[in-house]
Structures are given as structure tokens and as C-alpha cells.
Structure 1
Amino acid sequence: MLVRGTFVHCLHSSGLEILYDYLLAVDDLGFITHFDPAASSQSTQFLTNTNESPEQLPEGSFLLPTFCDLHLHAPQFLYQGNGLHLPLMEWLNEYAFKAEERLDADPALARRVYTRLAERLVENGTGAVLLFGTINEETNLILADVMHKAGIRAFVGKLSMDQSSRLSYVEASAESSLDAARSFVEKIKSEYASPGLIEPVITPRFVPTCSDVLLDGLGDLAASQDLRIQSHLAESHDQVEAVRSERGDEDLLVFRRSNLLTPRTIQAHCTFLDVPSLSQLRECGTAIAHCPLSNAYFSAEPFRLREALDQGLKVGLGTDVAGGYSLDIMNAMRQAVVTSRMRQGSNIMNSGFESSLAVDWIESLFLATRGGALSLGLPFGCGSFQVGAPFDAQQISLWDASTRVGMGALDFFDYPVKITPEVVEKWWSLGDNRNRTSMWVQGIKL
């Protein structure tokens, strides 16, 4: 595959790169083998040595790395957009547990829900997703199968929970939960050994639903096979208080004692963590899934995003469906910036200090792409365009050159239009899935 045109990516949180008239080559395994200016001697020689003619991106289009969604509850897609009037612990009992239990009891419904979810993810440019499933192995194997057929990088977690306020939705014991987790890991590794787009994730739901015995066992399992880990950490006032009441400690310390805070761990939310607690996560190498939309509904505290970035923590974005009502990472980007701006204003009003707590749109684009890939520990170069990286890309089309009409919600009044930072910002602010005209994961067009 050969493509010539404009490429946009963020190698660092503060830097947007717009690369005009570049030539990119992808091999049969889906990896980038050449990436240089089309007019360079290297590109000239490359074209001389190949019989293939490059595909020219249309005027008004650019390629961008696909988005990474670091936190999504797949079964909760069933009731996306409902129940957000309740506090977290009530919401779980009234909506989440019931929906997950329903899908566990109805494999056909699970496949329908997950198939539509996969379609929506592709529509919204999500090429890699970290998924919470249910407690039933069969339902999670269906989820993995659907994501595999859709061509998405999916990291699938079978929920582990041996404690629950809903007696019909809980595993019988810590031992049976650990056995089920081991079985799921083995089956995923066996079924999807190549090309490796589907991987298992150790998934204690959160501290209130897991005994210490279960958490310790999951930590040992993850360490023995170098597995990814995901959970929720310091998400809401009622959840934090429940852990303090039941465990006499903070959930961060509970996870750390069980060896569940590692460089392969992604913890969602973390809104009730202060700066010293964030430092502990950095020491562990643990990443954070920032879910600004659901945080606005379920947390009394905004996430300290600026402080986390300044400390060098790995951070990406999550939609947190169905705690967040939108599957579109673009909405998560915008909400992350809005929340940070509100924090900045509050900081000035309350303390008089003007040190910035805000993040800008470029930083949010980094979080949605390269930051998410680094947080997930994806292969070299994911979330960017580099030789040796997998070709995970989405084509963004801003206007129709033949009609000079902007696509979707975009309008342009001066032609010709060059793809500048201001034009990319306009897309960031106003664009939607109508601007996404193609998508590839590991070099395969979806």
C-alpha cells in the first residue's frame, strides 16, 4: 500500500505536526516501511524500486492516527444514554448490573449489542479499545469474536467480582473467580495468537466488588503472564467512602498491596487522587483513563489532568459508556478541554493564582491518539506515523474540492484552503463522523 498526501499527528503532548506531501508505504503485515517527503531522494528511490503507484489523498483530506478508547463497558451499550440522574453506586445497581446480567443470559442479544457497538466504534474512528465485559466467559468470548471480525484492536476484560450488592450477579467465590479468569486468558491467547489484535485483560471491577483474596490472586495471575490490568480507582465520593468503610483504607493502597498497580495497568477516573497519590501511580508506571464526560455525572471532583501530565504520567481518554453517553472520542477530547478550563477559572477565582491548569486542543488530540497508545502499551509507534509502526489511520475529509463545500458541519469561505493548525482546530471543534471517510487498523481497511 502506498499513500501520498498530508499527515497529521502528535508525537508529544505539546506538538502538532502537519506533514505536507509525504509518501507512506505499508507492507503486507500492516507496518509502515517508508515515511518521507514525497519529493525526497529516499522517496524517489523507493518509487523507482516498486511497481506500485501511490494513492493520492484528495485535496482537503489528511490522515490521522486512529483514536484509542481506554475505558468502555461493552454490555452497558445496551442502555447508553439512560440513568445518569443517579449517584454511581445506585446507578450500578439499577442499570449496570442488570444489563450485564441480561447479556450473560442471552448470547444472541449479546452478539447483536456487541456487533452494533463495533460498528459505532469504527464510525467514530476508534481503532483500539479497552473493554470491560461481564462475569460470564461465553459472553466475553462473543465480545472478543465480534471485535476480531470488525478488525479493531480490542483488549477484553472478563469481570472478576466475588462480592456484589446484587446477589444474582456475582461469582461464587474468590477461587472460582480466579479459575474463570485463568480460563478466559488461556482461551483468548489460544484463539487470537496471530495477528494479536485481541488480548485478554485482568479486570477486577473495583475494590468494593472484590475480596482481598481475589485481588491478591489476580495480581499474581497478571504478574505470572505479564498481562494488562484494568479497573476503577477513586471514581466517586460514594465509592471512595465505601472502600474506606469496608477496608479501612484508600483503594489505591488496596490495589498496590495486591500488585495491581503496574506498568501494564490502566486505572479509570482517579478523580479523588491528590498530587501525592498521582505520584504513587507514576512510581508504579500505571496509566490513567481520563473519562471527563462520566466524571461530570458521577464524580464530585474533576480529574487533575494538568498535574498528571506535568508529572509525566501516562494518560489517555475513555468514553466510559454508559457512564458517558457518547462513544465518540472527539467528545471526550472536547470535554477534557472544557473541564480543564473550568478548573483554571475556579483556581483563579478561589486562590488568585494564575498558574495554568488548562489543557488545549492539541494536548487533547495527543491524549486521544499517541497518549492512549502509550498508556495501552501498544506496539512501537502506534498513535503516530513512523517507520516500523503499525498503520492505524483514519482519513479525515474537510471539504469537497470539486464543489468547494465543506463536509458535515464544516464551512469554509476562502479558497484554496490549506490544512493549517487553524483548519485542524476547526475540525477538532466542529467535526464529526461525516468527516471520516476511511479507516485502517494494522494496514487493513475496515
Structure 2
Amino acid sequence: MLNLIQGTFVHTPALNKLEILEDYLLGIWDPFGTIKHFAPSNSPESVALLERYTPRIIPRGNFILPTFCDLHLHAPQFLYQGNGLHLPLMQWLNEYAFKAEERMDNDAKLAQKVYTRLAQRLKENGTGAVMLFGTIKEETNLILAKCMNDAGLRAFVGKLSMDQLSSPDYIEESAKASIEAAKSFAFKMQCKYPALPDTVEPVITPRFVPTCSDALLDGLGRYATACGLRIQSHLAESHDQVSAVLTERGVDDIEVFARSSLLTPKTVQAHCTFLDGPSLGRLQATGTAVAHCPLSNAYFSAEPFKLREALDMSVKVGLGTDVAGGYSLSIMDAMRQAVAVSRMRQGANVMNKSSETSLAIDWVEALYLATKGGADALGIESGVFEIGRAFDAQQIALWDQSGGIGPLDFFDEGARISPDIVEKWWCLGDARNRLGMWIQGKERI
């Protein structure tokens, strides 16, 4: 059956290109949720479809936008979201992160409660695809996967692998045991969620270089390569972490990941704030994507990510919230923060006369990072409205007969959705403007 949606669609098919497609008709083919038709409503093909099917009409003052992608979120840390951000990274991990993760692994009922609420909060914030760090215990990560699947979210779930430099009570006993645990988790995930329409997948997840021996990283790299699995970790995140790796291993962590075959087109590395130009080029050459987390970078890194440079080098980049290193689950907040940080970098650039090239990004580029850029980084066929892509979308309501919705105010009667109006929503909008969501063509809220 073909389901039709008629109305205004907004997307960013390229980094600095915004398209507002008024009175378009989109057709979704069930049960696979792929876009089979997308054209103006008055086109001959659309007219023929409208003669056979009744569309769902998106009312005036509303538009359809691709869902957001969150490339980096620590699911168990949702338990203490908004706490402990006064500490440096390594101390914060010991005092908050490891304890919360261990608590979740020891309490299945708590894990179910936390992860169910996390999934609901993600939908409220328009996040349709999320890459998740879990815990070290297999059963707890299977709970996480089930909660995401039950909510209908597109989720990439990582069982943590770490065999050193963690809490004595929260560590895997050896590299061999850790590798076998990662294999067991991935196998069970693939058996339970084998293919579309299921949208939940396992991710090989070495926490970061300090907590993983070379033997563990090498084994995970070989396994991920052999099975074509996704990979996620942290790279060049903070000054103390970078220094610790250099002291312990004698090389930077990008070299450690590279020699273990963990930089691949299926890899997402979070932060990357201390990478220079040649290292960014290395990510581009290997197809490795970056999860840019501007809020948590402000708390835990002495450097901002070189976003403009990475984009100019065609590195794949999307946005991450990094809860709980970042306190907000909202990718809308991450978009705004990404622009603000880039403008501060450009201000320093101007004052220091460092470069004639602007380091700033604008709101359209940030919207791209949150949607198509994130989807490309994750390797999923969504993020833009094109025939053959998955219909992952959200309905945004700006106004109705009584005026602007939520935080939005409009004073021009008869206004049409324009770039200025979309920008106003981008700056001021919140969850009150989100009326619906579809993942893989299925309505979720």
C-alpha cells in the first residue's frame, strides 16, 4: 500500500543548501517505509496518485523535516544527566560515569526504567537515529536495545569494551574475555534484530584508548572488519586524555586506532578536538566520521573541534549530545551550540589575524549536520527526502489559527514558510513545535 503525505517539506540536501518544497506529495511504500514518490502535487504523477489515494494533509503553518541524528550518547549516563560537570574528564569518569554504569549493570529494573524514559525523551526532541554507548554487561545492553526498538527508534547500541584503567569492580578480566563478550553481544543482537524493518544494530565499542589494551583493540578491529560491523569510540577528546595516551603508548590515539584497523567507513569517533589538519585528512581518507559534541567539548576539552576545517576537507561530520558529558538531549541545542562555538572561533581568528578564511558555520549548515550529515556519518539512507531513501521525518508546527505555537510569535498575516521563518524556528523552537515523527515510514508519535 502507498501512503501519501501532502504539504510543505524542508530539508538540506547539501551542506549549505536549504530547500523549502511547498505543496509537494510524498508517497511511502509499506511495509518497508521507503519513499516511492516525491514531486509537486500538481505534477502528472502526483495527480494520478491523488485520484487513487487520499493523502494525509499537513496543514498550513506546518512542515515536514528529516529527523535528527545523535551520533554520540552514553545511555546509562542519562541516570545523572546534569550533574558533575565541574570536574575534569578523567576525574568525572571515576566519580560519576563508572559508578552509574556499574549501578545499571547491577539493577535490571533500573536499566529498564531509565532506558524507557530515555527513548521517550529522544522522540520528544526529534531524534530518530542515535548511536549509543552502553555498559560492559551484555544483558543490560540487550535491555537498552529492546527499549529503543520498542520505541521505534533507529538505534546503534554499543556494549562497552575495556580491560584496563577502570574501577576495580567495573572492568573486564582480560582482552580475550572482552573480545568474546563483544562477539556474544553482537551475535545476539543480529539474531534478534536481523534486518529491516528492524532498525537496531550492534556497534563495536572500545571505550577509548586509555581503557583498552593493544590486544583488545587489535582483536576488536579484526572482528569488526571480518563481520562488517560498525565501530564507535572517543578520539583526541581532552588534554589529559591525549597526554595520558602519548605517555603510555608513545603515539597519539589516532595512531593507536589506525594500527588496530579501527578507522573505517563504518567508524564514528567522538570529539576529535585535538586533531590537526593532517589527522583530519587521515579521517577523510579512511571514511571515518566525527561526532561533533560542542556542549561537552566546552566542559571537557581545552580545544574546540576544528569544524570548518573538517567540513572543507570533506570529513563526514554529524552532531552528538554526549549525555551526560553534555547536559542536553536536544540536537536543536547542539545545532545552536555548534554555530556559537564556530563564531567564537572566527572571532579569535579575526582578532589574531590567523586566516582570511572564515571558521564560522551558519544555521543551514548546522541543520545539515543534524539531518543529512548525521545520516551520512551513520551510513543510513535517510536525512533527506529522495526516492529510495527511508522516510525518517518529523512534523514541525509553527502556527495555527490562534497564532504562533510554543515559543514562536508571528505578526504577518498570511505568511508562507520561508527561510526566515525556518530560521526563527531553528533559533527559538522546542519540543512544543513537534507534532509527529516517522521512522522507516512508521508513525512513532
1:383-398 alignment to 2 at 5 Å?
A: 383-398=383-398
Deviation at 1:42, TM superposition (A): 1.5
- Quick one: which of 422, 425, 428 aligns to 1:424? 422
In the alignment, which residue of structure 1 is the partner of 2:18? 16
In the alignment, which residue of structure 1 is the partner of 2:211? 209
Deviation at 1:187, TM superposition (A): 0.2
1:186-205 alignment to 2 at 5 Å?
A: 186-194=187-195, 195-205=197-207
In the alignment, which residue of structure 1 is the partner of 2:162? 161
- Quick one: which of 428, 433, 436 aligns to 1:435? 433
Cα distance in 1 between the residues matched to 2:289 and 2:357:
25
Q: Does 1:40 align with 2:40?
A: no
In the alignment, which residue of structure 2 is the partner of 1:122? 123
Q: Does 1:58 align with 2:59?
A: yes
- Quick one: which of 357, 380, 404 aligns to 1:378? 380
Cα distance in 2 between the residues matched to 1:427 and 1:309:
25
The one-letter amino acid paired with 2:203 is: V
Query: 3-state DSSP class of the match of 1:438?
Result: strand
**1:239-276 per-position Cα deviation (integer Å, ceiling 9, x unaligned):** 00110111111000000000000011000000000111
Deviation at 1:158, TM superposition (A): 0.2
Deviation at 1:4, TM superposition (A): 0.5
Query: 3-state DSSP class of the match of 1:72?
Result: strand
Query: 3-state DSSP class of the match of 2:84?
Result: coil
Tell me the TM-score normalised to structure 2 length.
0.98
Cα distance in 1 between the residues matched to 2:359 and 2:330:
24
In the alignment, which residue of structure 1 is the partner of 2:34? 31
Deviation at 1:165, TM superposition (A): 3.3
- Quick one: which of 344, 347, 361 aligns to 1:345? 347
1:243-254 alignment to 2 at 5 Å?
A: 243-254=245-256
Cα distance in 1 between the residues matched to 2:77 and 2:341:
24
Deviation at 1:40, TM superposition (A): 0.7
Query: 3-state DSSP class of the match of 1:278?
Result: helix
Cα distance in 1 between the residues matched to 2:351 and 2:105:
49
Deviation at 1:226, TM superposition (A): 0.4
Query: 3-state DSSP class of the match of 2:327?
Result: coil
Query: 3-state DSSP class of the match of 2:246?
Result: helix
Deviation at 1:55, TM superposition (A): 1.2
Deviation at 1:20, TM superposition (A): 0.5
- Taking structure 1 as reference, are residues 352 and 136 closer, same or farther at Cα in structure 2, changes over 3 Å only? closer
- Quick one: which of 295, 298, 309 aligns to 1:296? 298
**1:62-117 per-position Cα deviation (integer Å, ceiling 9, x unaligned):** 00000000000000000000000000000000000000000000000000000000
In the alignment, which residue of structure 2 is the partner of 1:98? 99
Cα distance in 2 between the residues matched to 1:80 and 1:264:
28
Cα distance in 1 between the residues matched to 2:357 and 2:266:
32
The one-letter amino acid paired with 2:134 is: G
The one-letter amino acid paired with 1:384 is: V
Number of residues of Structure 1 aligned to a counterpart in Structure 2: 440
Query: 3-state DSSP class of the match of 2:168?
Result: coil
Cα distance in 2 between the residues matched to 1:24 and 1:68:
21
Q: Does 1:444 align with 2:442?
A: yes
The one-letter amino acid paired with 2:102 is: E
**1:175-218 per-position Cα deviation (integer Å, ceiling 9, x unaligned):** 00000000000000000113230000000000000000000000
- Taking structure 1 as reference, are residues 252 and 37 closer, same or farther at Cα in structure 2, changes over 3 Å only? same
The one-letter amino acid paired with 1:387 is: I
Structure 2 unmatched ranges of 5 or more: none
Cα distance in 2 between the residues matched to 1:14 and 1:353:
21
Query: 3-state DSSP class of the match of 1:262?
Result: coil
Query: 3-state DSSP class of the match of 2:205?
Result: strand
**1:15-47 per-position Cα deviation (integer Å, ceiling 9, x unaligned):** 000000000111112111110000111111222
Deviation at 1:352, TM superposition (A): 5.4
- Quick one: which of 321, 324, 334 aligns to 1:322? 324
Cα distance in 2 between the residues matched to 1:269 and 1:352:
23
The one-letter amino acid paired with 2:45 is: Q
Cα distance in 2 between the residues matched to 1:177 and 1:441:
33
The one-letter amino acid paired with 1:371 is: G
Cα distance in 2 between the residues matched to 1:149 and 1:441:
12
The one-letter amino acid paired with 2:304 is: P
Runs of 4+ in 1 over 4 A off after TM superposition: none
Cα distance in 1 between the residues matched to 2:96 and 2:40:
52
Cα distance in 2 between the residues matched to 1:439 and 1:4:
15
The one-letter amino acid paired with 1:443 is: G
How high is the sequence identity, in percent, across the aligned residues?
67
CA RMSD of aligned residues (A): 0.7
- Taking structure 1 as reference, are residues 256 and 352 closer, same or farther at Cα in structure 2, changes over 3 Å only? closer
Structure 1 unmatched ranges of 5 or more: none
Whether the 8 Å contact between 2:149 and 2:198 is mirrored in structure 1 is no
**1:361-404 per-position Cα deviation (integer Å, ceiling 9, x unaligned):** 0000000000000000003xx1011111111100000001x22x
Cα distance in 2 between the residues matched to 1:179 and 1:164:
20
Query: 3-state DSSP class of the match of 1:23?
Result: strand
The one-letter amino acid paired with 2:268 is: I
Cα distance in 2 between the residues matched to 1:200 and 1:310:
31
